[in-house]
Amino acid sequence: MFPTDGGAAMPLNQSIVRWLGVSRWPVFLRHPVIKLLLKRKRLGSFPFRVRLDELLYDGDAANLIDYHVLTRGGFEPGLDQLLADWSRYRGGQDKVFVDVGANSGLHTIQASRRFRQVHAFEPYPPMFEQLCHSIRINDLGNVVAHQVALSDAAGEVAFRPPVAGNPGTGSLVTDGHADAGEHTINVRAETGDTYLEPFDGEICAIKIDVEGAETRVLDGLGALIRRDRPLLVFEVLQGGVNIATSFAGRLPDDYVMWLLIDIKRKRYAAVPWQGEAGDVVACGREHAGFFGRG
């Protein structure tokens, strides 16, 4: 599944990292060694396995997200901590988490320990394969993977594959047409309201990371959001004076929104959102005290 060197001689720096078993070291020890010996943009491929607490994760250090996992022990650990805190607050062990744009499953597998069931959506075939691999090596019976894009309408849609070295950049073609000469593939799209309706359980939290198509996902989840009033975490790529209004118009009137600060660190913080680009969290006003604000 993961690239290998095909029998070719491994560069000395990579051989040293392998021989020392650096990927098994504690993060505070392996971080400086990896940063010194492995320069991500110079790597053709460097598969590794690490342990995230009791979970296993297989990655490739040539990819941006996985390089962070190898050097820092995670990618956006503040998000994982937020979901853990929210699960404790809302009794997530009896509820459902939905991961839209699950990618390799990094957040999915960690959420599996916090919620009764996890639905992970990833339409891009190579990343869906890795998502399933992440689920399989951890024997996660409470995670369901869906090779589907959630959007505002059902059908077949064009998808831009991610750029080399950053598997998190794949995206739906939201403007109706691809650029001339641009490579796209067709993927299946469904609305969350229709697709998730047959599944049991109260949806406690939804993470949406779909590289610019977040509003379309929200448009397709309106009924479920009104029904279960989950925590929403979504990425805003381009800020602006009208952005906050656009997102607010897609949520219940009494939902409030914050901008997550320091999501790259486990000790995240949140401030009122004014439409800036970044990671945004929204919840019903009845839960505003979770963030220490009324």
Per the structure, the count of domains in the chain is 2
Domain that residue 22 falls in: 12-72
Residues 172, 249 within the same domain: yes
**Encoded tokens for 172:** 């739906």
Domain end call among 25, 40, 72: 72
Q: At what angle do helices 27-37 and 12-20 cross, to 10 degrees?
A: 170
Q: Are residues 54 and 130 in the same domain?
A: no
Whether residue 242 lies inside any domain: the answer is yes
Q: What is the pLDDT along the chain (294 residues), one digit of tens a residue?
A: 444 445 567 889 999 999 999 999 999 999 999 999 999 988 889 999 999 989 999 999 999 999 999 999 999 999 999 999 999 999 989 999 999 999 999 999 999 999 999 999 999 999 999 999 999 999 999 999 999 999 999 999 988 888 887 787 787 887 666 665 678 889 999 999 999 999 999 999 999 999 888 999 999 999 999 999 999 999 998 888 789 999 999 999 999 999 999 888 888 999 999 999 999 999 999 998 998 644
CA distances from 91 to 18, 85, 193 (A): 42, 10, 23
Indicate whether 222 and 91 sit together in one domain.
yes
Given a contact cutoff of 8 angstroms between Cβ atoms, the answer to whether 237 and 227 are in contact is: no
pLDDT at 8: 63
- Same domain flag for 135 and 49: no
Domain boundary among 56, 72, 88: 72
Within a domain: residue 2?
Answer: no
Co-location of 59 and 172 in the same domain: no
**Cα–Cα distance list, 16 to 33, 37, 200 (Å):** 10, 8, 49
